[in-house]
């Protein structure tokens, strides 16, 4: 009850601010930035409520009241300094390379999502998105930071919640207008359709076409390209049931000759040489951090390789279940000889191996057509490669258990 009252009060206040967004959002003056900062904090609070947290502690104390007891002047000084830091942050460059906000492990808090729906909290974020005043903004960085938080809230608001997904689907065209800014508007659209029956009733093809065209236009070394591509998998399955027509559409679009910058696989001599160089780059990083304590023991997967990993996974998802059309196209794109060569080169790069084995499984093992004799021998060679990883895994686990 206490939560309901507090949230109701905050949402009412936020709605008032959102309705006047044109007067403060993107205005780089102190007072307006303060309004933006407060608004962001409240949006973050709403976002946090949508996520399941065990033993959540909510502070209902009125900070204003509390500060009256303290020395007023000292408090004001401290507050100013604190606010100054936060406001500067609002003016700093907005990051167009943001990763996706939801992780597999994170669970939604269904009750709180319902509470926020009943309070129409989503309307606050919609009002912000509808403002679309970027062209007239004094400072587009602070504008985009508020906009980004509005999207993040909506992403968590719809996540795994059928009713909330249905509410937001009517705003899809509005969200599509923000595709160029980061990944969150596309992430929101993907979350609206994830495991939703809307995949059956809503014509999502024009939206997919537009997004794939955008993905194609982005350079491979950008995180945005990889992240946006990864969301396409959400449209190919409804629970465990593959949506054959969407699998086929997405697979054909991303492998089409007109989408030259989507298709990036390590095939043929040149492709395998590229992959080899990426693996050597990672080995180089490994040798550096193992010999020098000053380095963080972290190995970064090169962005182009990350993109290919997601691309292989996408093709694999398009072949899930039995789909002869996508299986044939994917086999054409990544022949079994090249898969074997990729697997041998992948060595310690488990995210790549993960994608390759998944691809092999859905495109060559679990298929609609019969397996050719030629492929049977290659499959056996693939199993031999896998056996090395299992052996390695068993050795590591045994050593860990005995330590």
Partner 1 sequence: MAQEEEQDLDAIDVDINKNFTMQTSFGSFEVLYLIERYIYEVVFPALTNYFGLRLPIKANQVEFFKEFMEQIKKALTFVAKPSHKKLALELVKVIKKVPQLKDVGSESYTTKGLTDEGDEKKKKQGGAISFPQLS
The enclosing H or E element of 240 equals: none
Q: Does 360 bind partner 1 (CB under 8 A)?
A: yes
Q: Is 102 exposed, middle or buried (0-12, 13-18, 19+ CB in 10 A)?
A: middle
Contacts of 80 (CB under 8 A, 6+ apart): none
- Least distance CB 323 / partner 1 (angstroms): 15
Q: Which is nearer to partner 1, 32 or 187 (CB)?
A: 187
- Tell me which residue has tokens 């059309």: 325
Q: Which is nearer to partner 1, 74 or 292 (CB)?
A: 292
Residue ranges of alpha helices (H) inside 92-121 are 110-118
**Distance between CA atoms of residues 51 and 291, nearest Å:** 41
Q: Does 28 bind partner 1 (CB under 8 A)?
A: no
Q: Which residues of 21-57 are buried (b: 16+ CB within 10 A; e: fewer)?
A: beebbbbbeeebbebbbbbbebbeebbebbbeeeeee
Other beta carbons within 10 Å of 287? 10
Q: Does 389 bind partner 1 (CB under 8 A)?
A: yes
Q: Does 287 bind partner 1 (CB under 8 A)?
A: yes
- Least distance CB 284 / partner 1 (angstroms): 6
Binds partner 1 by CB under 8 A, chosen from 8, 117, 220, 283: 283
Q: Does 222 bind partner 1 (CB under 8 A)?
A: no
Binds partner 1 by CB under 8 A, chosen from 227, 255, 331, 342: 227
Q: Does 51 bind partner 1 (CB under 8 A)?
A: no
**Distance between CA atoms of residues 78 and 84, nearest Å:** 10
- Least distance CB 335 / partner 1 (angstroms): 18
- Least distance CB 177 / partner 1 (angstroms): 25
Binds partner 1 by CB under 8 A, chosen from 80, 365, 368, 369: 365
Please report, as residue ranges, which positions from 292 to 321 form the binding site for partner 1 (by CB under 8 A).
297-301, 306, 309-310
Residue 238: phi and psi, rounded to 5, are -120, 100
Residue 177: phi and psi, rounded to 5, are -70, -15
Residues that bind partner 1 (CB under 8 A): 99-100, 103, 223, 226-227, 230, 277, 280, 283-284, 286-287, 289-290, 297-301, 306, 309-310, 347-351, 353-354, 357-358, 360-361, 365-366, 371, 376, 379-380, 383-384, 386-387, 389-394, 396-399, 401
């Amino acid at each position: 009850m206490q939560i309901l009252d507090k949230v109701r009060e905050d949402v009412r206040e936020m709605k008032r601010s959102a309705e006047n967004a044109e007067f403060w959002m993107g205005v780089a003056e102190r007072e307006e930035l303060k309004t933006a900062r407060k608004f962001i904090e409240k949006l973050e609070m709403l976002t946090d409520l949508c996520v399941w947290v065990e033993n959540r502690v909510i502070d209902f104390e009125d900070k204003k009241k509390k500060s009256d007891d303290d020395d007023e002047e000292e408090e004001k000084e401290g507050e100013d300094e604190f606010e100054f830091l936060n406001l500067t942050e609002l003016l700093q460059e907005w990051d167009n390379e943001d990763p996706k906000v939801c992780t597999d492990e994170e669970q939604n808090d269904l009750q709180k999502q319902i509470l926020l729906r009943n309070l129409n909290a989503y309307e606050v974020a919609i009002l912000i998105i509808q403002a679309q005043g970027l062209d007239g903004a004094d400072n587009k960085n602070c504008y985009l930071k508020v906009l980004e938080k509005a999207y993040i809230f909506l992403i968590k608001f719809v996540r795994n919640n059928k009713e909330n997904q249905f509410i937001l689907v009517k705003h899809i065209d509005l969200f599509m207008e923000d595709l160029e800014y980061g990944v969150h508007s596309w992430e929101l659209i993907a979350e609206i359709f994830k495991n939703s029956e809307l995949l059956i009733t809503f014509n999502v093809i024009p939206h997919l076409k537009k997004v794939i065209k955008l993905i194609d236009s982005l350079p491979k070394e950008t995180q945005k390209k990889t992240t946006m591509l990864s969301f396409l998998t959400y449209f190919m399955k409804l629970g465990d049931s593959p949506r054959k027509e969407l699998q086929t559409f997405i697979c054909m679009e991303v492998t089409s000759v007109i989408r030259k910058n989507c298709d990036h696989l390590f095939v043929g001599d040149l492709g395998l040489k590229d992959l080899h160089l990426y693996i050597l780059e990672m080995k180089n990083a490994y040798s550096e951090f193992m010999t020098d304590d000053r380095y963080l023991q972290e190995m970064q997967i090169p962005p182009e390789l990350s993109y290919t990993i997601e691309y292989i996974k996408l093709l694999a998802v398009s072949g899930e279940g039995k789909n002869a059309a996508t299986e044939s196209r994917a086999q054409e794109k990544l022949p079994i000889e090249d898969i074997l060569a990729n697997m041998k080169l992948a060595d310690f790069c488990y995210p790549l191996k993960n994608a390759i084995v998944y691809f092999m499984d859905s495109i060559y093992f679990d298929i609609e057509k019969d397996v050719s004799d030629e492929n049977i021998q290659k499959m056996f060679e693939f199993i031999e490669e896998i056996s090395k990883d299992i052996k390695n895994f068993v050795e590591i686990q045994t050593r860990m258990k005995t330590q």
